[in-house]
Amino acid sequence: MARGRRRSFVERWVQRARQADDPFDRFFCSWVALVAAAQRKRTETGIPFREIYADREKILEYFEANRARIFQVLRQHRENLSQLACRKGARYGKSVLDTRSLRLRRIFADFAAYYTQRMPLSEEYLVEATVEIINKIRINLFQGVNDDHEDIELLELVNPVLLDILEQCESI
């Protein structure tokens, strides 16, 4: 795909996300745009494409390459992220989202403490935590969409942040 077509592809999916009334549709469109933007960034920086390379790793690289912009977006959405930090997983009551992974539980708890208790975190760690939250939401939704009230509330907190990250990093 030519460079201009890749950018146009990302822009179209961001536009679809902005126009979507349904929070699930908005998230899914944003996810497609994010993966495409991350792959475009890899291609532009000369990192070779590998089929086995997971979207999570691409997005981690993308967030790291755009850390300053993303951190600025996180500052602008402090209210949404503070509400997200107060959230507990529906099933087990863990910080932000339930997960079996001890590593993710620690990251989510640190994220929550940053916003609720002003625990100091580096920009790099906060940006990584944001990737892990977005990726975990994607995993949960892709494994079986439940449009219950809690999922809708979660997406309404995350969608504006994700869309602004895309718009800032892609200059849309």
Angle at which helices 102-116 and 78-86 cross, to 10° = 130
- Identify the band that residue 163 occupies on the pLDDT scale cut at 50, 70 and 90: very high
| Residue 76, pLDDT score | 97
- Radius of gyration from C-alpha coordinates of the chain: 16
Q: How far is CA 137 from CA 5, 24, 40, 69, in A?
A: 28, 11, 23, 22
- Identify the band that residue 47 occupies on the pLDDT scale cut at 50, 70 and 90: low
State which residues form the domain around 142.
Answer: 3-170
> Does the structure show a pLDDT above 70 at 24?
yes
| More confident call, 51 vs 167 | 167
Query: Could you give the number of structural domains in the chain?
Result: 1
